[in-house]
Structure 1
Amino acid sequence: MKNLDKTDRAILAAVRQDGRIPIAKLAERIGLSETPCARRLKQLENAGYIEGYRAVLSRKALDIGVIAFAQIRFNIHDRALSDRFEREILAIERIVSCHNISGSADYLLQIAVRDLDEYGAFMRDVMRTLPGVTSVESMLSLREIKADAGFPLL
């Protein structure tokens, strides 16, 4: 499935917005009957356009008061060290996302914690002890303007 048609895009847009949408409602929304709609959805899943479904958890209900972005720098650029760093990052739940980036830093992390005290302790006890880390520059989110809504349908 290289070329997505209008119907495929409509299905992807609908399930991106609501992963639990019933097939009947999805079919009605995009103008197909249920069986062809279910078949098209299954084809999109099998072709890898849909990697999975998940719930969007409430930041407020979970008492997550601080979202921070941290730029991580290494002085030594060694593949084995980077691999160890990345393996350890994967196991840390407070790190919401991690990107290997270009520019003055090596990695950009998004971190979720309850408050500034917890963030300070997390920096001291976790981030600064990770393999390869020589500097961390933090930026705190003051207000979220747009949340992750999934990838755009280009």
Structure 2
Amino acid sequence: MRRTTTPTAARVGRYGWTTGPDVLNQHYDLDDQDKAIVTMLRQDGRAPLARIGEQVGLSADAVRARLARLSGDGILRVIGFVDPRSLGYGCLSTVGLRYHGPIEELVKTLNGHPKITFMVQTVGELNVICEVAARDDIDLADTVAEAFGAIEGVREYEVSRQLKALKWESQGRPRPPATAPVEQARTELDDLDVALLRVLVDAPRSTFRELEAKVEAPYWVVRKRTQALFANGLIHATAVLDRVSTDPVTMACIRIQLAGDTAEGLAALAALPEVAILLLTAGRFHASAEVTCASPEDLAGLMLRMLAIDCVRDVSVLVYARTLVLPRPWRFDITTG
């Protein structure tokens, strides 16, 4: 893997944000073996290194070294993705900010927040967007006020409540949340389950012995419970990649205002090949799309094609400049019982 200069991309540092002026405007190249490793980890984040090595033509030690480098450079993260709805968090939203100040200060403030799962710097009418998980709308309002309201430099923020995922084919994001009602999706957990999940969301590749030491429970119990958590789909180990830095593409969030008969229009939007994610939202815009285009010119063409759809009345384009916080495991603050 190598780094090459490009005018439109920036490499993120170890903690998800640029570490100095020398890393700005750089593109992070992945070779074929890197890409094959990432593909396997997306399918199974707990895949043994030896098995990965057999598939990509490397030793287990060589795979380990590549993973350490990619993770250390902030390009790749292996996470344990927990569907927030299964734990009673049924309110997902996107918060856009108009921020004036050093971007590093904003990231330092928000990077450790348990309910903020993704953050990207953008070019457009908003210059930062974050994704937030909350229990319900009251919790969302409180979380947004607490997380963003007191930050110096945040001039304004705009909340889009996610209502329904119409399309989700992202290469760099965890799978969409369940669509079942919260009361049906929630899973009852005991203290050991929660202790294991708290470790596994950040370190899903932990061995049973490592988990045994961290949760202080018998090995056989830890093994059985961990296997059950993965088998039941409560947690899914996968890999997330900073596509803004690794792919020579233009990515953006396009927020869409709709009017009239929307059924055919939404189907047309979902059918656009550049659209990876399409959500119905509550807020100033009725829908939101994450898109990937080959170039800024192609993004302009996509915007015009969207505006030509009958029910689309207006769009707001937020071009991804650099990833500040990679999509990461949602860190829950639940209690049992």
After TM superposition, the score normalised by the length of structure 2 is 0.37
Post-superposition offset of 1:63: 1.6
Residue of structure 1 aligned with 2:66, choices 41, 44, 51: 44
Q: What is the match of residue 214 of structure 2? A: none
Q: What is the match of residue 84 of structure 2? A: 59
Q: What is the match of residue 122 of structure 1? A: 143
What is the CA–CA distance in structure 1 between the aligned matches of 2:142 and 2:115, rounded to whole Å? 12
1:54 partner SS? strand
What is the CA–CA distance in structure 2 between the aligned matches of 1:16 and 1:113, rounded to whole Å? 26
Q: Deviations over 1:72-120 (max 9, x none)?
A: 114xx343xx544332212322111222211111211111101101111
1:129 partner SS? coil
What is the CA–CA distance in structure 2 between the aligned matches of 1:85 and 1:8, rounded to whole Å? 31
| Conserved? CA contact 2:115–2:133, under 8 Å | yes
Q: Does 1:17 align with 2:43?
A: yes
Q: What is the match of residue 160 of structure 2? A: 139
What is the CA–CA distance in structure 2 between the aligned matches of 1:40 and 1:61, rounded to whole Å? 37
| Conserved? CA contact 1:71–1:138, under 8 Å | yes
> 4+ residue stretches of structure 1 with deviation over 4 A?
49-52
1:124 partner SS? helix
Post-superposition offset of 1:23: 4.0
AA at the equivalent of 1:42? R
Post-superposition offset of 1:27: 5.2
Alignment of 1:74-85 (within 5 A): 74=99, 77-79=100-102, 82-85=103-106
| Conserved? CA contact 1:84–1:131, under 8 Å | no
Q: Deviations over 1:123-145 (max 9, x none)?
A: 33332222122211111111233
Post-superposition offset of 1:69: 0.6
Cα 1:46–1:96 change in 2 (3 A) is closer
AA at the equivalent of 2:63? L
**What is the root-mean-square deviation in Å for CA atoms of aligned residues?**
2.8
1:137 partner SS? strand
Q: What is the match of residue 68 of structure 1? A: 93
| Conserved? CA contact 1:8–1:40, under 8 Å | no
2:84 partner SS? coil
Q: What is the match of residue 4 of structure 1? A: 31
| Aligned-pair identity (%) | 19
Q: What is the match of residue 90 of structure 1? A: 111
Cα 1:112–1:43 change in 2 (3 A) is same
Structure 2 unmatched ranges of 5 or more: 3-29, 175-239, 248-337
AA at the equivalent of 2:93? A
Structure 1 unmatched ranges of 5 or more: none
